[in-house]
Amino acid sequence: MKSSNVIARERGTDLLTVRNLHVEGFSGERWHPIVRGVDFSLKRGEVLGLIGESGAGKSTIGLAAMGYAKPGCR
């Protein structure tokens, strides 16, 4: 482990914090929940892996964390 990683953890410096992430998609005549209430944070040097079934929202969470939305989503 690099010393910079230890320092970031000791100071509690988050590089990315996501709280209460919700994503909805429009289908038919209404909005449907796709992702509900996701929370996570990453410090310098940390890695996060998302595991789940096909269609569980892994890619949607990653895109939303970067500020992107799939067409028809908010």
Find all residues with CB under 8 Å of 4, minimum gap 6, and list them: 44, 45
CA–CA distance, 43 with 31 (Å, rounded to integer): 33
Residue 31: CA atoms inside 13 Å, Cβ hemisphere, count? Answer: 9
Percent of the chain exceeding pLDDT 90 equals 61
Give the global pTM: 0.74
The mean per-residue pLDDT over the stretch 44-70 comes to 91
CA–CA distance, 37 with 1 (Å, rounded to integer): 31
pLDDT digits (tens, 9 = 90+) for 14-49: 888 999 999 999 999 999 999 999 999 999 889 999
Q: Give the mean pLDDT of the chain.
A: 85
pLDDT exceeds cutoff 50 at 3: no
Cβ atoms 17, 39 nearer than 8 A: no
